[in-house]
Amino acid sequence: GKMRNRRYTVRRGPLVVYGEDQGVVRAFRNIPGVQTASIRDLNLLKLAPGGYFGRFLIWTESAFRMLSKIYGTLKSGAPMKRGYTLPRAQMENADVARIINSTEVQSVLRPKLEAPKVVPRKVNAIRSKDAMEKLNPYAPEAKAAEKKRQEDKSAVKARKAASKEYNKKHKRGPDTF
């Protein structure tokens, strides 16, 4: 958000991780953008600010030595954290494609599902002659009859108009119709 003094997002610079502060903080505090953090005070927001991975981290040698003391190794537990062991990988072989396509796995799987039946799109019967004929086989005859009725009606109208015009032209006085 841009409210409460956060108008611009400030990009994070490199983070120097140290085990023992032997003047490291003092050395880097005057360089703009560079931050320092003790190995004991590390958290996810410092390592990946905003939830984005890829921050440039500079590790000191003492920090690397402290890592194995804090978290331990895969063979031994963590000396500084009671009852903590590093999580192990769930799979020894990470070639998932080869495992899935193996005959042992494929023989146990259910067969592949067929694609769902495609439902044809509904056609508007008022716009489509073919769809209307499917619904109402009498529709073409009804349409033709309606067209003929309209033509007859317009012919009668034209004949009436011609008759009126003729009567206006050949008017003979008050005794005319």
pLDDT tens digits along 146-165: 999 999 999 999 999 999 99
Backbone angles phi, psi at 18, to 5 degrees: -125, 155
Asked whether residue 9 carries a pLDDT value surpassing 90, the answer given is no
Give residue-wise pLDDT tens across range 34-69: 999 999 989 998 999 888 888 999 999 999 989 888
Nearest-angstrom CA–CA distance, 86 and 153: 94
The reported pTM is: 0.48
Looking at residue 1, its pLDDT comes to 57
